[in-house]
């Protein structure tokens, strides 16, 4: 067992995956599910990889990553989870160095997934119209920035996503990707499409079929081509008590339809 960096974040992980984020610094803290203690004193003599007992719980000390940060995030609005965020990131080609806009930011569910893949050379612009949601999202992102080894240049714009053109141009010129998660995505598409570079992608997150259809129409009207539309269905399997594995009792229900479009050159006039 060794020392460990003072002031650094660690996660205490239960064997089932539940995790508690802890800042290794002096002073009493109250961690929901674990109790009240001085984190520095508790971790004294322990290193990442060690097992530690806190109250009745036996936990492994690990370096926190996105899953641990997400398990500890505060939530206000409905968040986009790994099922849809992972799919969007891969299909939209989002990775190191990309310039991405997302909104509504809400509690930062999607933004945390994006920040995790953009690296320090990426730019992430989040837009949120409700200050009380922006505050929750900002707290989650600030903590994530202390946990991840690299974090993008992050801007949180408090306002309407339909009116961010000038700010986006000032921050990064044009965009590689845009993800719209507001009640009426079709109202936002017209002002975001001009900000995309040629080949850039725009996605709409649409809980209902009406949202999907209206967004689809508006994307087409603005010259975007639809690359993928539909929903991702997730079915988790479990170990059966009498042996074997089988689908669990709690399948993830519907989250949203995803609409992914791309910007291409306008067709030539005859």
Ligand X SMILES: C[S@@+](CC[C@H](N)C(=O)[O-])C[C@H]1O[C@@H](n2cnc3c(N)ncnc32)[C@H](O)[C@@H]1O
Give the residue, chosen from 19, 101, 107, 186, that forms a contact with ligand X under the rule CB under 6 A: 107
- Is residue 108 within the footprint of ligand X (CB under 6 A)? yes
Range in contact with ligand X (rule: CB under 6 A) among 158-166, 209-217, 223-231, 237-245: 158-166
- Is residue 182 within the footprint of ligand X (CB under 6 A)? yes
- Is residue 77 within the footprint of ligand X (CB under 6 A)? yes
Give the residue, chosen from 117, 123, 127, 206, that forms a contact with ligand X under the rule CB under 6 A: 127
Q: Smallest distance, Å, CB 137 to ligand X?
A: 7
Under rule CB under 6 A, how many of the chain's residues touch ligand X?
22
- Is residue 218 within the footprint of ligand X (CB under 6 A)? no
- Is residue 181 within the footprint of ligand X (CB under 6 A)? yes
- Is residue 58 within the footprint of ligand X (CB under 6 A)? no
Task: Measure the CA dihedral 73/79/85/88, to 10°.
Answer: -150
Give the residue, chosen from 40, 57, 71, 130, that forms a contact with ligand X under the rule CB under 6 A: 130
Q: Smallest distance, Å, CB 53 to ligand X?
A: 34
- Is residue 103 within the footprint of ligand X (CB under 6 A)? yes
- Give the residues lining the site for ligand X (CB under 6 A): 77-80, 103-104, 106-110, 127-130, 133, 160-162, 181-183
């Amino acid at each position: 067992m060794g020392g460990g960096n003072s002031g650094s974040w660690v996660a205490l992980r239960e064997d089932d995956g539940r995790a508690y984020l802890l800042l290794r610094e002096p002073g009493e803290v109250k961690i929901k599910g674990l109790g009240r203690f001085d984190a520095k004193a508790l971790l004294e003599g322990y290193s990442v990889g060690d097992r530690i007992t806190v109250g009745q719980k036996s936990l492994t000390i690990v370096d926190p990553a996105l899953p641990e940060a997400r398990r500890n995030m505060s939530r206000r609005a409905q968040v986009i989870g790994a099922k849809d965020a992972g799919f969007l990131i891969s299909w939209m080609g989002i990775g190191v160095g990309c310039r991405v806009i997302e909104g509504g930011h809400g509690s930062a569910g999607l933004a945390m997934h994006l920040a995790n893949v953009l690296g320090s050379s990426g730019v992430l612009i989040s837009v949120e119209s409700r200050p009380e949601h922006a505050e929750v999202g900002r707290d989650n992102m600030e903590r994530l920035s202390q946990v991840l080894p690299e974090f993008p240049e992050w801007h949180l714009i408090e306002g309407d996503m339909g009116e961010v053109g000038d700010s986006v141009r000032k921050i990064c010129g044009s965009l590689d990707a845009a993800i719209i998660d507001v009640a009426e995505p079709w109202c936002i598409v017209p002002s975001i499409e001009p900000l995309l570079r040629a080949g850039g992608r725009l996605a709409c997150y649409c809980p209902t079929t009406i949202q999907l259809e209206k967004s689809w129409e508006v994307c087409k009207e603005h010259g975007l081509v639809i690359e993928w539309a539909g929903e991702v269905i997730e079915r988790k399997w479990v170990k059966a008590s009498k042996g074997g594995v089988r689908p669990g009792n709690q399948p993830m229900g519907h989250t949203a339809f995803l609409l992914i479009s791309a910007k291409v050159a306008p067709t030539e006039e005859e």
